[in-house]
Chains A and B, each alone.
Chain A
Amino acid sequence: MQSVEPWSEVRKMDVLGNYKSVISARSTDRDILKKAQDGGIITTLFAYALEEGIIDGAIVAGPGDEPWKPEPMVVTTKAELLAAAGTRYTISPNLSLIKEATRSYGLDRVGIVGTPCQIQAVRKAQVYPIGMRDVDDKIALALGIFCMENLSYQALEAMVEDHCNQKMESVTKMDIGKGKFTVYTERGAVAQMPLKLIHKYVQPGCNVCLDYVANLADISSGSVGSPDGWSTVFVRSTKGNTVWDGAIKAGFFETKPMDQVKPGLDLVKKLATDKITKNQKNVDARKTIGLKADGTPKGLRNPYESP
């Protein structure tokens, strides 16, 4: 039995999680950049991993049967990857395909992209594979995306159609940044709404989430911290490090040191701290939400304490 690292040093992660390096980056692939939300990091990393045989396929948020409704799908080619590029601001239950990918598709090396909570689910599926047969050693690359909160499809529809007065099917891009939700059509950026108005639409499960930058991913990425068209990239695990180094050497990305870009890492840290502080308060408030007969507080279930 090889020695386990000292358990007394239980890793207390800071708000940005453990990472080996952080850098600002952009894909060098023009086809990807045309379709990408920001720097095209996730699409390009999967394209590189497919090409190198690091993964046989990836679970991504592909196009669904309604406009801007993502459908989880298993992709095995760059063309399929491209069809799934870009952000859709609603839930894509990517974990629902994890056994489909490993068993029905028979993939031995699976890539998966997810929000921080979805990456938590991936790691739980690996460490406690209760109903996840033959999954644990087949997750070859778990890519995380920064996430403040998520919305149901119906909420996104309300924002686009009611608040912004645009038809879902005529929208060409949606973007969140600089405190605003912006809707683009073929005529350009046609409507905006302040982010504070969308709080009532956020799904409740997001209010107890204590992770902003996908702390448990192999590599995580998001626009925050980097200039327009670029993304901030955290390289976290040993596996992530190998993949990132390989992709850089192969010329898949151009990069800038994080301390030389605006607005920089401080903004990522600020938003992560804001989210986690707010949601930790929510988690704590749940403990005393109700009232027992003896006058002491009655709490709701806390997933961070017990099932």
Chain B
Amino acid sequence: MAEKITIGELHLSGCTGCLVTLADNYEGLFKLLDDYADLAYALTLVDVRHVPEMDVCLVEGSCCLDDKLSVEELKEARAKSKVLVAYGGCAAYGNITRFCRGGQWNQPGQEAYVPISEVVDVDLFLPSCPPCPQAVRNVAVMAFLLLRGNDEQKKLATAYLTPLMQLAQRGNEACGCDLMYDVINQGLCMGCGTCAGTCPVRAITMEYGKPNVNRDLCIKCGACYAQCPRSWFNFDVMNNYEGIMDAIRGAME
């Protein structure tokens, strides 16, 4: 067994749902921590006070510009990690914090919240609110293969992680409107219903085979677009879905 990688979670302006999601892998979390990754840093889970060196840093929450510590810690995490992940809708796209205009108890002076990529370079996006336990598990296993695996495993991990890295380059604005702008308007929607099934707040219904987004309900988490098979569909990975799922299942046994 190769040496474990180190993973940390930096908690900025988020609700802790992303961290709970990591723990929601239940015994899978123990397996991850036993064989693949040491948890180097995480609010509530690890007694480490200061941002350490990490292979992978999962950043939860958007960055409050009115909170100097958030900005400093985010920069420090960037400097000290090999792979920086915007973990969840808030870190990637702002999510619900996009609606903040200050005045809230108990920090009424804090009103400027930005996706973390406004402040630091981000390597990989893992959207949704929260992301699924299985998604962060897969990314953790793939990060292990990328950093510790043999050549074949590195190729697999690179192919797997590529679209999530491309997502980080696409921009930090997400909305149910993406389904209009980047799927339907582009002539790519075929009405499968994935977006409606994915939406964590049930803002999307399928009307006559196409998504209809209730924009008052949309929290801008980015799940619908990332999950859409017409946002990306990488045949090199997907044609090997059986092998990849077996490998991940095998890794978690």
Say how far B155's CB is from chain A's closest CB, in angstroms: 4
Q: Given the known A-B contacts A125-B227, A152-B209, A306-B163, are A13 and B239 also in contact in the complex, defined by CB atoms under 8 Å?
A: yes
> Chain A interface mostly helix, strand, loop or mixed?
loop
Instruction: Give the chain A neighbours of B163 by CB distance below 8 A.
Output: 128, 306-307
Residue B206 lies at the interface, judged by CB distance under 8 Å to chain A: yes
Instruction: Give the chain A neighbours of B145 by CB distance below 8 A.
Output: 1, 4
Cβ-defined partner of B234 (8 Å) among A13, A126, A136, A304 = A304
Cβ-defined partner of A5 (8 Å) among B126, B134, B232, B243 = B243
The answer on a CB contact under 8 Å between A120 and B229 is yes
Q: Given the known A-B contacts A95-B193, A205-B191, are A129 and B152 also in contact in the complex, defined by CB atoms under 8 Å?
A: no
Nearest A residue to B243, CB-CB: A5
Residue B213 lies at the interface, judged by CB distance under 8 Å to chain A: no
The answer on a CB contact under 8 Å between A131 and B223 is yes
- Given the complex of chains A and B, what is the CA–CA distance between A201 and B190 in angstroms? 13
Q: Given the known A-B contacts A7-B159, A307-B231, are A237 and B192 also in contact in the complex, defined by CB atoms under 8 Å?
A: no
Q: Given the known A-B contacts A11-B239, A93-B209, A303-B233, are A205 and B190 also in contact in the complex, defined by CB atoms under 8 Å?
A: yes
- Given the complex of chains A and B, what is the CA–CA distance between A208 and B243 in angstroms? 26
The answer on a CB contact under 8 Å between B240 and A97 is no
Nearest B residue to A99, CB-CB: B197
- Given the complex of chains A and B, what is the CA–CA distance between A152 and B9 in angstroms? 45
The answer on a CB contact under 8 Å between A134 and B134 is yes
Residue B131 lies at the interface, judged by CB distance under 8 Å to chain A: yes
The answer on a CB contact under 8 Å between A11 and B240 is yes
- Given the complex of chains A and B, what is the CA–CA distance between A111 and B208 in angstroms? 23
Say how far B170's CB is from chain A's closest CB, in angstroms: 6
Interface residues of A in 253-307 (CB under 8 A from B): 300-301, 303-307
The answer on a CB contact under 8 Å between A205 and B188 is yes
Q: Given the known A-B contacts A117-B229, A303-B233, are A95 and B240 also in contact in the complex, defined by CB atoms under 8 Å?
A: no
Cβ-defined partner of A96 (8 Å) among B131, B197, B230, B245 = B197
Instruction: Give the chain B neighbours of A120 by CB distance below 8 A.
Output: 229, 233, 238
Residue B132 lies at the interface, judged by CB distance under 8 Å to chain A: yes
- Given the complex of chains A and B, what is the CA–CA distance between A220 and B180 in angstroms? 31
Instruction: Give the chain A neighbours of B251 by CB distance below 8 A.
Output: 1-2
Interface residues of B in 211-253 (CB under 8 A from A): 221, 223-247, 249-251
Say how far A96's CB is from chain B's closest CB, in angstroms: 3
Cβ-defined partner of A307 (8 Å) among B138, B166, B239 = B166
- Given the complex of chains A and B, what is the CA–CA distance between A205 and B128 in angstroms? 24
The answer on a CB contact under 8 Å between B191 and A154 is no
> Chain B interface mostly helix, strand, loop or mixed?
helix
The answer on a CB contact under 8 Å between A129 and B194 is no
- Given the complex of chains A and B, what is the CA–CA distance between A6 and B153 in angstroms? 8
Instruction: Give the chain B neighbours of A126 by CB distance below 8 A.
Output: 241, 245
The number of residue pairs between A and B whose CB atoms lie closer than 8 Å in the complex comes to 221
Instruction: Give the chain A neighbours of B194 by CB distance below 8 A.
Output: 95-96, 98, 121, 124-125
- Given the complex of chains A and B, what is the CA–CA distance between A250 and B187 in angstroms? 45
Instruction: Give the chain B neighbours of A304 by CB distance below 8 A.
Output: 232-235
- Given the complex of chains A and B, what is the CA–CA distance between A11 and B159 in angstroms? 13
Cβ-defined partner of B200 (8 Å) among A95, A131, A301 = A131
Instruction: Give the chain B neighbours of A91 by CB distance below 8 A.
Output: 190-191, 208-210
Sorting the interface of chain B by its residue count into under 10, 10 to 19, 20 to 34 or 35 or more gives 35 or more
- Given the complex of chains A and B, what is the CA–CA distance between A50 and B243 in angstroms? 26
The answer on a CB contact under 8 Å between A93 and B191 is yes
Instruction: Give the chain A neighbours of B94 by CB distance below 8 A.
Output: none
What residues of chain A have their CB less than 8 Å away from a CB belonging to chain B? 1-2, 4-8, 10-13, 18, 72, 90-100, 114-115, 117-118, 120-121, 123-137, 150, 152-154, 203-210, 215-216, 237-238, 300-301, 303-307
Please, could you name 26 A-B residue pairs with CB atoms under 8 Å apart, sorted by A? A1-B144, A1-B145, A2-B246, A4-B247, A7-B159, A12-B239, A72-B206, A95-B197, A100-B197, A118-B193, A126-B241, A128-B163, A128-B164, A130-B131, A130-B227, A132-B227, A133-B132, A133-B133, A136-B245, A137-B249, A204-B187, A208-B187, A303-B229, A303-B230, A303-B232, A307-B166
What residues of chain B have their CB less than 8 Å away from a CB belonging to chain A? 1, 35, 126-128, 131-135, 138, 144-145, 149, 152-153, 155-156, 159-160, 163-164, 166-167, 170, 182, 186-194, 196-200, 206, 208-210, 221, 223-247, 249-251
- 16 new A-B contacts, CB < 8 A, other than A134-B133, A216-B241, A237-B242, are A1-B35, A7-B155, A93-B191, A94-B193, A124-B229, A131-B224, A132-B135, A152-B209, A154-B208, A206-B190, A215-B239, A216-B239, A238-B242, A303-B231, A303-B232, A307-B231
Closest 9 CB pairs of A and B: A93-B193, A91-B209, A96-B193, A131-B223, A205-B190, A131-B198, A2-B250, A204-B187, A91-B191
